[in-house]
Amino acid sequence: MDTTAYSLQPEYPMPGLGALIEARAATPSAHYLEDARSDAGLTYGQLFAELHRWIPRFTALLGEHGVVVVDIADPIGFARVYLSAIAGGYHAIPADPALDAAGLSRILTLVEGEPTVVVSDHPQDRQLSGTELLPLDTNDAAELDQTVLHRTSAASAGARPGGAALLFTSGSTGTPKGVPLSADQLLTVAHEVAEHNRLTPDDRGFNPLPLFHVNAEVVGLLATLVAGSTLVLDRRFHATGFWDLIEQRDITWINAVPAILAVLAHTGPLRVPSRVRFIRSASAPLPEAVRHQLAGVPLVVSYGMTEGASQITATPLGEPIREGSVGKPVGCELQIRTDAGPAPTGTIGDIWIRGRGVIHSYYGGRAADRFDPDGWLRTGDLGKLDADGYVYLVGRSDDVINQGGEMVYPADIEEILLEDPRIREAVVVGRPDPVLHQVPTAYVIPADLTQPADALAADLTQRCETHLPKYKRPVHIDIVEDLPRAATGKIRRAQVRHLAASA
């Protein structure tokens, strides 16, 4: 039985990023980006002007090839430099602007030997040796003469193929792995996202997610560019006044993560303006309890990873969401495998992916064992397929708890805990045990931090005893105010496991 789920994109020529930006600049006054908290913005004409501003600078410093580290907190400033670097044929490394100087130096160490320039909007915090540092004035909007620009082309600015984003994993289990995504791969997936979400020039997206992550870069910046629409950027998510801002900015879709949706589900009425066509959930599985609390809100639930240029699967827009599913593959192939080979329908196994947007190797050839000879990548996630090709995630292979030979999937316990309306988030990890090897332990973040923790933990223990077999019941439930998080809001499970091991 062939249990591969297919969703192959059409074979269409992929225009270069510089050519796409030039085409969008045919309507130079159309808004590309807007800042959610000010009047700052960037039109498509100004974006085209940025190519003429930045690419010659990079060429003078780097020559034909090199690395541009984008160390910029201002979201519009980030987009100007990031897109110019890739369009110019360079490797753009998005850096977390919250990194200290030592953290930024570690990134530079990972690309030692490559000609490199750092562009920063907080150069006063950077003391780099041996690397060119270019300051970015966030008020330095593109003011090149539009008349002159429209007699020129992207080629005259030095735009050329060969550019890429180079993103590094968090490195929670060792040295970070570099993920090289070519401009062609980025745009391939951006086209798929724009088509899947039916984006048009009339759309106005809202992105409160960090731009140094692949989701905001591809689903936000590039899919918007492909559609010729507008994206409103916020530096961070603010629950207070959220729906007022969405209405004031005339937003038609929202790029979110489960942590944001969990907060919205627990903070007052969901006053979703009528113009909002959908809210997209990405970065981590959306708990069913949160989805139920958002009943009536149009959702697109997706699954993706950096190695696939963000999106791998998504639920079809406008169709009912199948409980527990992250939709079907979009623009790639997906296969479930066990040690015996392709898994039968409904059987849990390792998720493998292949497609035009999926990397073929890591930077420097690291982790080569995650690729097979036919171009498939083992994602490290576990899941299953139903008869219609819908994908269901059950967790990471590293997260499965081996309790005396019984395999415990944390998601099974987390869903039971999250069904209690008093709970905002829950994470279950394995705690070392001298007899059973591992036992499940739960960390729970309540929606109301003032409620008595002991009474809540006792209620949740009773709930697990009622709804779970004995081997799946957490041996301890800890009520906490918060847990270690990535910049996207996703909880860092590796750090939580360390917390459990040291408890």
* Segment 63-122, tens digit of pLDDT: 999 999 999 999 999 999 999 999 999 999 999 998 888 888 888 988 888 999 999 998
Over residues 158-188, the pLDDT tens digits come to 888 889 999 988 644 457 789 999 999 999 9
Residue 145's pLDDT is what? 63
In whole angstroms, what is the distance from residue 276 CA to residue 272 CA? 7
In whole angstroms, what is the distance from residue 263 CA to residue 424 CA? 7
Helices (H) and strands (E) in the chain, counts: 14, 26
Contact of 51 with 66, CB cutoff 8 Å: no
In whole angstroms, what is the distance from residue 407 CA to residue 467 CA? 17
Long-range contacts of 411-415 (CB under 8 A, 24+ apart): 411/285, 412/468, 412/472, 413/440, 413/442, 413/464, 413/468, 413/472, 413/473, 413/474, 414/287, 414/442, 415/287, 415/288, 415/289
In whole angstroms, what is the distance from residue 402 CA to residue 404 CA? 6
Full DSSP string of 183-246: HHHHHHHHHHHHHHTT--TT-EEEE-S-TTSHHIIIIIIIHHHHHT-EEEE-SS---TTHHHHH
Residue 172's pLDDT is what? 46
The band of 9, judged by pLDDT with boundaries at 50, 70 and 90, is very low
Please return the burial class of 2, using the count of CB atoms within 10 Å of its CB with bins 0-12, 13-18 and 19+: exposed
In whole angstroms, what is the distance from residue 157 CA to residue 146 CA? 14
pLDDT at 141 over 60: no
Token pair belonging to 388: 């219609």
Q: What is the mean pLDDT of the chain?
A: 90
Please return the burial class of 22, using the count of CB atoms within 10 Å of its CB with bins 0-12, 13-18 and 19+: buried
Q: Coil, strand, or helix at residue 463?
A: helix
pLDDT at 255 over 80: yes
Which residues does residue 431 pair with via DSSP β-bridges, in sequence order? 439
Contact of 454 with 132, CB cutoff 8 Å: no
87 phi and psi angles, rounded to 5 deg? -60, -30
Contact of 203 with 252, CB cutoff 8 Å: yes
In whole angstroms, what is the distance from residue 331 CA to residue 107 CA? 31
Over residues 89-98, the pLDDT tens digits come to 999 999 999 8
In whole angstroms, what is the distance from residue 421 CA to residue 105 CA? 44
**Paired sense of beta strands 299-305 and 278-281, if any:** parallel
Q: Which domains does the chain have, with CATH numbers?
A: 1-11+184-236+246-397 (3.40.50.12780), 17-160 (3.40.50.12780), 400-502 (3.30.300.30)
* pTM for the structure as a whole: 0.86
Q: Coil, strand, or helix at residue 405?
A: coil
Angular region, 226: left φ>0, alpha ψ -120 to 50, beta rest: alpha
End-to-end Cα distance, the chain: 46
Contact of 472 with 440, CB cutoff 8 Å: yes
- DSSP element (H, E) containing 17: helix 17-24
Residue with tokens 């993706």: 304
Please return the burial class of 38, using the count of CB atoms within 10 Å of its CB with bins 0-12, 13-18 and 19+: exposed
Q: Give Cβ neighbours of residue 447 (< 8 Å, ≥ 6 apart).
A: 266, 421, 422, 423, 424
Q: Give Cβ neighbours of residue 244 (< 8 Å, ≥ 6 apart).
A: none
pLDDT at 472 over 90: yes
pLDDT at 2 over 70: no
In whole angstroms, what is the distance from residue 89 CA to residue 357 CA? 18
Token pair belonging to 267: 């903070």
Counting Cα atoms < 13 Å in the Cβ hemisphere of 487 gives: 19
- DSSP element (H, E) containing 406: strand 406-408
In whole angstroms, what is the distance from residue 326 CA to residue 237 CA? 23
| Range ranked top by mean pLDDT from 11-20, 66-75, 480-489 | 66-75
| Of residues 476 and 486, more confidently modeled | 476
Token pair belonging to 171: 């490195």
pLDDT at 57 over 60: yes
Sign of CA dihedral 326, 327, 328, 330: negative
DSSP 144: -
pLDDT at 349 over 50: yes
pLDDT at 215 over 70: yes
In whole angstroms, what is the distance from residue 481 CA to residue 503 CA? 17
Q: How far is CA 287 from the centre of its chain?
A: 17
In whole angstroms, what is the distance from residue 444 CA to residue 2 CA? 40
Over residues 418-468, the pLDDT tens digits come to 999 999 999 999 999 888 889 999 999 999 999 899 999 999 999 999 999
